[in-house]
């Protein structure tokens, strides 16, 4: 694999940095990423000049989140085409970088199809590269628009389920602008409630072992002035038992045809807790996350991450005896019967059934 993406400075910034952008440089186009592994302590950009570097950034979680992975994958195909690399080989490498998030493959194939069709039509590699980039940019724009519609549908659902406002929402992992082309999925719903004056508290699960909730969701909530409180993952049960949560909002990395939801590990136990305590469990995800080619939850490939993420801190300090084996799935799967509603850009589905998912327009 090529060297990882080059890093840009750690200067303090008062305005949000885009999670991903295309940039022209004297040496050729590059893909610039906000390195999410360095947040919240430092805002550092990674400059990826080729697909192997982008694959490394995806695997290291420097860029992450299902919708944004789709956008990154599409831009990766465009980058390969613009740099004269083997587009088919680049697309295969990108698709295989993380197996669970279906959006990554969707984005790669969309840009790859645009490249292939343009090349067949014009025979001009430059035209084909431009077509791939246009497809990536369109996907980016569509995702931002989808996020805005999901936020509106999700807020309407919260108001319907919980009349009177003052919503207290528990979320898991990170689902804001760091994972999308716009303001996110589940986080965007909480943000819409905040802007409408109807968010009383955003409860933020820390999300072990890589602490995406503590590092990233708390970072985004603070930037937006949202009332929020961080809790350890294993405190969620007592919080629900104390009736301090009105709804649980999560995103998704893949939704099977039967409605099973793959999301960051820890989501499934939250769904069980929510059902026991009669609290709505709401999944917010774009239609691109629904995979009709995956029939059920058992068919979803769950990515297994390195054990050192569990046995060491991010700084490499051991928290377990040397040689301790670790079980570290990146995701778990929640069955559809535990999902109160699925919010997409096309509206809300409840109950979540195979028939309702099959009716979604793609």
Distance between CA atoms of residues 323 and 307, nearest Å: 10
Cα–Cα distance, 223 to 16 (Å, whole number): 8
Task: Tell me the three state secondary structure of residue 255.
Answer: strand
Q: Is residue 86 flagged as an active site residue?
A: no
Closest by Cα among 126, 136, 104, 131 to 115: 131
Tokens 């509106």 -> residue? 152
Pick the catalytic residue: 35, 233, 253, 291? 253
Pairing of strands 254-256, 261-264: antiparallel
DSSP symbols for 183-245: S-SHHHHHHHHHHTT-EEEEEEE--TTTTHIIIIIHHHHHHTT--EEEE-GGGHHHHHHTT--
Distances (CA, A) of 294 to 43, 100, 260, 301, 344: 37, 11, 10, 10, 18
Distance of CA 12 to the CA centre of its chain: 25
Cβ pair 49, 75 in contact under 8 A = no
User: Which residue numbers are catalytic?
Assistant: 253
């Amino acid at each position: 694999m090529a060297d990882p993406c080059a890093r840009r400075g750690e200067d303090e910034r008062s305005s949000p940095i885009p999670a991903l952008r295309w940039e022209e440089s004297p040496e050729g186009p590059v893909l610039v990423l906000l390195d999410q592994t360095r947040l919240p302590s430092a805002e550092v950009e990674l400059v990826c000049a080729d697909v192997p570097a982008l694959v490394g950034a995806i695997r290291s979680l420097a860029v992450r989140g299902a919708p944004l992975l789709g956008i990154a994958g599409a831009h990766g195909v465009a980058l390969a085409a613009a740099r004269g690399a083997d587009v088919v080989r680049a697309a295969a490498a990108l698709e295989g970088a993380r197996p669970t998030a279906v959006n990554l493959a969707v984005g790669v194939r969309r840009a790859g199809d645009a490249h292939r069709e343009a090349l067949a039509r014009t025979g001009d590699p430059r035209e084909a590269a431009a077509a791939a980039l246009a497809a990536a940019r369109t996907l980016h724009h569509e995702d931002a628009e989808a996020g805005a519609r999901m936020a509106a549908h999700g807020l309407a659902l919260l108001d319907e389920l919980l009349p009177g406002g003052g919503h207290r929402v528990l979320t898991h992992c990170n689902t804001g602008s760091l994972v999308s082309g716009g303001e996110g999925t589940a986080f965007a719903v909480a943000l819409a409630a905040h802007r409408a004056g109807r968010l009383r508290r955003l409860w933020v699960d820390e999300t072990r072992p890589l602490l995406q909730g503590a590092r990233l969701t708390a970072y985004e909530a603070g930037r937006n002035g949202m009332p929020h409180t961080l809790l350890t993952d294993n405190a969620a049960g007592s919080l629900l038992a104390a009736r301090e949560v009105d709804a649980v909002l999560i995103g998704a990395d893949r939704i099977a045809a039967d409605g099973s939801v793959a999301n960051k590990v820890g989501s499934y136990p939250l769904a069980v807790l929510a059902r026991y305590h009669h609290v709505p469990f709401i999944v917010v995800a774009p239609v691109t996350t629904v995979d009709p080619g995956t029939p059920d939850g058992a068919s979803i490939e769950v990515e297994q991450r390195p054990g050192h993420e569990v046995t060491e801190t991010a700084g490499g300090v051991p928290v377990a005896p040397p040689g301790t084996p670790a079980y570290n799935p990146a995701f778990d799967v929640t069955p559809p019967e535990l999902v109160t509603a699925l919010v997409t850009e096309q509206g809300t589905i409840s109950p979540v059934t195979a028939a309702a998912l099959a009716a979604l327009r793609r």
